[in-house]
Amino acid sequence: RMMIQWLVFPLLWMAAVTAIRISPPLRFAGGTLLASPFIISFHSSLSPKPSPLSRSAPILRTFYSAGGVLGVAGLALAVAGLLMNLWSNARRLLSWYSVQKGAVEGDGPAAASLDDGGEVGGFGHLTPLVPGVNLPMSHLGYLFLAAAASLLVHEFGHALAAFAEGVKVSGFGVFVCVIVPGAYVRFDEDTIDFLPPTKRLRIFAAGVWHNLLLCLAVWGLRKCLPWVVAAAYTP
């Protein structure tokens, strides 16, 4: 069944790419749908007017200032976590190597695995999700939707922070690279380069700030969902 899924998806992808490439230019919402062998993308040059946000700009700056502070703190914690993970992996790898060497030379215990969950197992703390390996193919659609929603919220944060700082957003776009979604916004680079560091920090950290708030919102919804469902089914 897994083999069939891996065969069907490339066929559907090639059909979609071919249909987009041979059809007339697909234009909607001020943008154009494009396709290449590995990427299907939509780009729009529309730039929403910042005037509706002019009155809220001071509030938005304060909001994104908090995001900038937490973004810098989060970056420091992420670097520390990665270094700790690297050190843990190195220690486990050295332990595994010593066990394997002892087993080969006949003066040690039986060979151990990096993934056996024992003293030398559990290779690190970060595990990538690989469809068909440690992620069921049936969950791939949910992962795609979650990643797409996270990316859209992330890029919306950059755009909203840019509007609050008076930076023009020259365009936005979304794309899919095979099974990996993506999104982006384009700024007026000349304006960005001459902004004070604090304003640039607010814009650059806004995406992660939005993702953090999204995570908290989903976590809160998940915690409240049993109560909501129970209330709905209470006679």
Q: Is 1 helix (H, G, I), strand (E, B) or coil?
A: coil
Q: How far is CA 3 from the centre of its chain?
A: 27
DSSP for 119-150? TT-S--S-----BTTTB-GGGHHHHHHHHHHH
Structural tokens at position 2: 């897994």
CB 28, CB 20: distance < 8 Å: no
- CA-nearest of 66, 78, 72, 65 to 126 is 78
pLDDT at res. 207: 93
pLDDT at res. 105: 61
- pLDDT-above-70 percentage for the chain: 80
Average pLDDT over residues 65-89: 88
Cα separation, 221 vs 85, whole angstroms: 31
CB 156, CB 213: distance < 8 Å: no
In the chain, the amino acid numbered 40 is: I
Q: How confident is the model at residue 21 (pLDDT cuts 50, 70, 90)?
A: confident
SS3 of 86-111: the string is HHHHHHHHHHHHHHHHHHHHCCCCCC
Give pTM, 2 decimals: 0.74
pLDDT at res. 211: 94
Average pLDDT over residues 20-46: 78
Average pLDDT over residues 114-130: 54
List the beta bridge partners of residue 140. none
Cα separation, 143 vs 96, whole angstroms: 33
pLDDT tens readout for residues 146-201: 999 999 999 999 989 988 888 888 888 888 887 788 898 888 777 888 889 999 99
Whether pLDDT at 93 is above 50 = yes
Domain-by-domain residue ranges, the chain?
36-103+136-233
Q: How far is CA 168 from the centre of its chain?
A: 24
> Between β-strands 31-35 and 169-177, what pairing exists: parallel, antiparallel or unpaired?
unpaired
Q: How confident is the model at residue 3 (pLDDT cuts 50, 70, 90)?
A: low
